């Protein structure tokens, strides 16, 4: 049965004895009512012509209001019929009362951030919230709709991020990815039509810029291993960095959460924070003297080996994240002074431990094995990552041409 919409007076009086003027939506013999907010005495309603009688002091204004509401409702119903096969009277009413097209970018972004928070993805919540605020601050419009976020708007936004905010190419891309994610959500929810989608071929294309991954050489690692004259804090930070390097560039958040109980049968067993994968790695001989330096601080079998997480509230994900960020910042500060003492001119950070492992591994280890060591879910990720450190083929080809 086709849907119908008409203006009527609902025969349910309020406490003052007045009756509401409504838009009645009927489909499949089921009706739903959209209230206009206007009430009149029963004697002023023209039942035959479905309008307010001229005897009402505000009849012209009320009838004009009803005509406008009816036209808006019919247009909305026409749009819904064109775009969707099946809509209930309740859904039609909802769309007429609060059109999805008027749902703002900020509203969809708020729902998205709430989901991240509820899922305890606090790091993602913090970074994406900052990126969403970049867009809202640029637009200076809390009611910004998705239709307004077109190709021209995004190109101005990109120029703003590069020029005013001084963001790198990679950071600009990360901002666009969040916007794209929210735009796809809006399309799926029916808030905006796909024809307005500003991303893709001949539009805004998201492409990660090539970045240079620099790792330490074998000689530079040996220099760090044997470096003397370190302060107590520098010595500790070197231990943490080498622990990470010896385990194929284990992420700092995982390193500082390793417990004594995670080590048994001469292996390290741990669950990655990034993707919750459970892993088991042989404990390298070089790690054993490092961790023994912390044995005197062990009080229980499930104590953390390194001290950074010992005062964390382990029931509070936000506190764990905060402690990890603080520790990483501290480590990187001390690594600067370690690099100076080692006379290494590369930027030494916790993350470069991962690059260093890749640099030394080069093309000596099968890519499938590197995938396991890096803990990548997809081998393509490993191939793309390791490509930064595999130079033998190109080096040999160059030598064959110029060495004559």
pLDDT score, position 34: 80
Q: What's the mean per-residue pLDDT of the chain?
A: 85
Greater pLDDT, 103 or 18: 18
pLDDT of residue 288: 95
Q: What is the mean pLDDT of residues 273-281?
A: 70
pLDDT at 257: 93
The pLDDT score that the predictor gives to residue 303 is: 94
- What does the pLDDT read at residue 93? 67
pLDDT tens-digit readout, 308-353: 999 999 888 889 989 999 999 999 999 999 999 999 999 999 988 8
Q: How many CB atoms lie within 10 A of CB 285?
A: 9
Residue 15 confidence class, pLDDT cut points 50, 70, 90: confident
pLDDT at residue 123 in the model: 87
**Which residues lie across from 264 on neighbouring strands?**
267
* pLDDT number for residue 189: 76
CATH architecture of 218-361: Orthogonal Bundle (1.10)
Is the pLDDT score of 385 beyond 80?
Answer: no
Task: Report how far residue 221's alpha carbon sits from residue 216's, in angstroms, rounded to the nearest whole number.
Answer: 7
The whole-model pTM stands at 0.59
Average pLDDT over residues 137-148: 92
Three-state secondary structure of 60-77 = HHHHHHHHHHHHHHHHHH
Q: At what angle do helices 151-163 and 122-139 cross, to 10 degrees?
A: 110
**Residue 233: which pLDDT band, with cuts at 50, 70 and 90?**
very high
CA-only gyration radius of the chain, Å: 32
Cβ–Cβ < 8 Å for 71, 48 = no
The pLDDT value given to residue 71: 83
Alpha-carbon distance of 225 to 286, in angstroms, equals 10
403 pLDDT above the threshold of 80: no
pLDDT category of residue 383 using cuts at 50, 70 and 90: low
CB-CB contact of 291 with 338 (8 Å): no
Domain limits, CATH 1.10.150, in the chain: 102-196
Lowest mean pLDDT among 145-149, 192-196, 225-229, 368-372: 368-372
CATH 1.10.443.10 placement within the chain: 218-361
- Average pLDDT estimate for 135-149: 93
Residue 219: predicted pLDDT: 94
pLDDT of 381: 64
pLDDT for 28 equals 79
Mean pLDDT of 16-45: 87
Model confidence at 182, in pLDDT bands (50, 70, 90)? Answer: very high
The torsion angle over the Cα atoms of residues 140, 142, 144 and 146, rounded to 10 degrees, is 120
Contact 184, 109 (CB under 8 A): no
pLDDT band for position 382 (50/70/90)?
low
- pLDDT tens readout for residues 87-132: 676 666 666 665 556 678 999 999 999 999 888 888 899 999 999 9
Q: How many CB atoms lie within 10 A of CB 142?
A: 10
Checking if the pLDDT of 3 tops 80, the result is: no
pLDDT value of residue 87: 65
CATH architecture observed for domain 102-196 = Orthogonal Bundle (1.10)
pLDDT in the model for residue 157: 97
**Read out DSSP for 184-253?**
HHHHHTTSS-GGG--BSTTSB---PPP-------HHHHHHHHT--S--HHHHHHHHHHHHHHHTTS--HH
Question: Is the CB of residue 234 less than 8 Å from the CB of residue 338?
Answer: yes
Nearest alpha-carbon partner for 51 in 60, 68, 42, 63: 63
SS3 181: helix
């Amino acid at each position: 049965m086709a849907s119908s919409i008409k203006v009527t007076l609902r025969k349910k009086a309020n406490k003052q004895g007045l009756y509401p003027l409504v838009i009645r939506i009927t489909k499949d013999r089921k009706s739903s009512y959209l209230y206009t907010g206007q009430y009149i005495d029963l004697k002023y309603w023209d039942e035959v012509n479905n309008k307010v009688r001229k005897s009402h002091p505000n009849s012209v204004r009320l009838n004009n209001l009803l005509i406008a509401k009816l036209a808006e409702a019919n247009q909305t119903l026409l749009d819904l019929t064109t775009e969707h096969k099946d809509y209930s009277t309740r859904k039609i009413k909802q769309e007429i009362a609060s059109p999805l097209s008027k749902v703002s970018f900020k509203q969809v972004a708020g729902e998205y951030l709430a989901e991240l928070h509820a899922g305890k993805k606090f790091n993602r919540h913090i970074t994406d919230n900052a990126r969403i605020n970049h867009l809202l601050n640029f637009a200076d419009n809390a009611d910004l709709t998705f239709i307004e976020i077109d190709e021209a708007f995004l190109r101005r936004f990109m120029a703003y991020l590069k020029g005013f905010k001084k963001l790198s190419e990679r950071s600009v891309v990360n901002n666009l990815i969040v916007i794209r994610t929210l735009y796809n959500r809006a399309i799926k929810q029916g808030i905006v039509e796909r024809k307005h989608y500003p991303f893709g071929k001949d539009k805004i294309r998201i492409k990660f810029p090539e970045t240079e991954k620099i790792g330490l050489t074998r000689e530079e690692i040996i220099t760090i291993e044997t470096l003397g004259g370190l302060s107590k804090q520098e010595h500790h930070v070197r231990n943490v960095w080498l622990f990470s390097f010896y385990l194929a560039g284990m992420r700092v958040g995982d390193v500082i959460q390793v417990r004594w109980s995670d080590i048994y049968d001469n292996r390290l067993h741990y669950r990655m924070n990034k993707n919750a994968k459970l892993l088991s790695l042989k404990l390298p001989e070089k790690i054993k003297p490092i961790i023994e330096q912390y044995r005197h601080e062990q009080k229980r079998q499930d104590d953390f080996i390194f001290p950074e997480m010992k005062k964390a509230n382990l029931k509070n994900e936000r506190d764990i994240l905060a402690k990890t960020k603080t520790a990483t910042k501290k480590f990187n500060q001390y690594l600067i002074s370690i690099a100076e003492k080692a006379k290494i001119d590369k930027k030494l950070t916790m993350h470069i431990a991962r690059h260093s492992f890749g640099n030394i591994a080069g093309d000596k280890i099968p890519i499938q094995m590197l995938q396991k060591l890096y803990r990548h879910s997809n081998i393509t990720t490993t191939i793309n990552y390791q490509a930064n450190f595999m130079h033998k083929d190109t080096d040999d080809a160059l030598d064959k041409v110029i060495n004559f």
